[in-house]
Structure 1
Amino acid sequence: MNKPVLTFQDVTFSYDQKEAILEKLNVQVFDREFISIVGASGSGKSTLFRLITGLEQPSSGKILINGVEHKSRLGQVGYMPQQDLLMPWRTILENAALPLEIKGESSPNVLPLLEEFGLKGVEQRYPNELSGGMRQRVSFLRAVLSGSNVLLLDEPFSALDAITRLSMQEWLLAQWEKRKTTVLFITHDVNEALFLSDRIFIFSETPVQQLKEVKVPLPRPRHLQDLNAPSILELKDQLIEQLRQKVTT
């Protein structure tokens, strides 16, 4: 097993001293894993990301990134939000280079990466001139340029049409395999979780004391047709049933 890059040790968290959302939660994510996180709305998925990024601090317990408990985790992980949040007054090149600019670093290597991300020729365009899929590529590039080996992706494809979404899923897998990063990916789409992930974490209780875990029995590289395997269809039905039980309880 690879080394852990993200560890929650007995983490408890609540907003304004109200009922706990997480209670003594222990989780480990390992180097180069692709983890999808599923659960009903309001179950704590986004709270988990806010704790990892350092936007929130645990009431008790420890959060370690690459084995280190940082006083501030801001900037220790790359983050790609649901909306691309590109600045409309900045060019694509300027938007992509923003993480380097914030860190006071030069950005000579951004142009080759734009080409690698399928964005050659649009460097001087503005976000409103690009398709949704291309804007999400810029957003993912910004997360990569954070320099972290841990990337958090919060439903990044939910606003895309079905065909573009499938294309972006395949593209994301290719980028992940090439860059050898660790990805945590929030989604409401069970098919998406099965196609992308090594493991799936399920938020199924409140407060969250333990994340249910499903290992995806698909080898890599993967193809969308792999989701039609009988074992995967059965696993999909089980996951959907678990999520339905959470919604109806």
Structure 2
Amino acid sequence: MYKPALQFQNVSFAYEKEKLPILQNFHFHINEGEFVSIIGHSGSGKSTLFKLITGLEQPADGIIFLHNQQKSHRLGQVGYMPQQDLLLPWRTIVENAALPLEIKGVHKQKAHSQVLALLDEFGLKGVENSFPSALSGGMRQRVSFLRTILSGSQILLLDEPFSALDAITRLTMQEWLLAQWQKRKETILFITHDVNEALFLSDRIFIFTETPTSKLEEFEVPLKRPRVLKDLNMPAVIELKDHLVDVLRARVKV
């Protein structure tokens, strides 16, 4: 039986200077352990949705539930990984990864021990005393994801985390992320502009198709798990990809 990890019920939201609301009587839910992607054109509301989930913004109306509990104060309740890794250049890799633990009051030595125990699993063994400037883009994103994991949340929001990487590194990081998710089974909500990326990673894909939005258009990915990149060549996946691209193009104003 599926248990909801995140629910929006009748949520409405508008920025003060905007005439139209972004969300209006909006309904949305994600189940525990799901990997869900959201795609949509720029300005459609994807980042607004993340701000509401994290608690950086509050709805004008409606209720947001985390694990079936109404949460009006959500700051620190979910893990967030932004597009940029935001690693502090003056802190080593261990010190950067340990930051969420230190913020929670974990003693520095204990926090570092927890990080060191995970470095090999995250492909960071041997660079623990390096500074971010010495790492590749892919390795920096591994540190960022480790830091997100150590936030302690079972709901992780990933906002286009691989968009700045080159094509090959991006594919490698997608495979790596799937392996980590399948091992840990956190609930992941992933924002991307890349339809192939959404198809490869996700159980379900949601699209913002209108503003204001009351409900996202939903598509189930016709792939079993575990999966490999070559599975994207399956006829059913290609057909869904073409449809998703058509839906997105119909909403883009040139």
TM-score (norm 2): 0.96
Residue equivalent to 2:26: 25
SS at match of 1:104: coil
Opposite residue 74 of structure 1, the aligned amino acid is L
Name the SS of the counterpart of 1:201 in structure 2: strand
Match for residue 119 of structure 1 among 124, 142, 158: 124
Secondary structure in 1 matching 2:63: strand
Q: Which residue of 1 aligns with 2:199?
A: 194
Q: Distance in 1 between matches of 2:201 and 2:21?
A: 30
In the other structure, the counterpart of 2:155 is 150
Whether contact under 8 Å (2:64, 2:72) holds in the other structure is: no
Runs of 4+ in 1 over 2 A off after TM superposition: none
Letter of the 2:2 partner, please give it.
Answer: N
Counterpart position of 2:41: 40
- AA partner of residue 117 (structure 1): F
3-state SS of 1:236 partner: helix
1:224 matched to 2:232? The reply is no
Check the 8 A contact 2:87/2:132 in 1, yes or no.
yes
- Tell me by how many angstroms 1:212 deviates: 0.2
Q: Which residue of 2 aligns with 1:16?
A: 16
> What is the Cα deviation at residue 70 of structure 1?
2.1
Tell me what 1:78 maps to. Answer: 79
Report whether the alignment pairs 1:97 with 2:102.
Answer: no
Q: Distance in 1 between matches of 2:72 and 2:250?
A: 38
Confirm whether residue 60 of structure 1 aligns to residue 61 of structure 2. Answer: yes
2:152 alignment partner AA: G
Query: Is the partner of 2:120 in helix, strand or coil?
Result: helix
Deviations 1:125-184 (CA, angstroms, capped at 9, x unpaired)? 000000000000000011100101000000000000000000000000000000110000
Cα distance between partner residues in 1 of 2:209 and 2:135: 38
2:162 aligned with 1:161: no
TM-score by length of 1: 0.98
Counterpart-to-counterpart distance in 2, 1:40 and 1:17: 21
Could you report, residue by residue, the CA deviation over 1:21-62 in whole angstroms, capped at 9, with x for unpaired residues? 000001110000000000000000000000000000000000
Cα distance, 1:209 vs structure 2: 1.1
Look up the SS of the partner of 2:214 in the other structure.
Answer: coil
What residue identity is the alignment partner of 2:153?
A: S
Identity rate of aligned residues, in percent?
67
1:1-12 paired onto structure 2 within 5 Å: 1-12=1-12
Q: CA deviation at 1:71?
A: 2.9
Q: What is the alpha-carbon distance in structure 1 between the residues aligned to residue 7 and residue 238 of structure 2?
A: 31
Q: Aligned partners of 2:183, 2:176: CA distance in 1, in Å?
A: 11
Counterpart for residue 248 of structure 2: 243
Please state whether the residue corresponding to 1:158 is helix, strand or coil: coil
Q: What is the identity, as a one-letter code, of the residue corresponding to 2:132?
A: P
Equivalent AA in structure 2 for residue 22 of structure 1:
L
**CA apart distance, 1:203:** 0.4
Q: Which moved more, 1:149-158 or 1:99-108?
A: 99-108
Unaligned runs of 5+ in 1: none
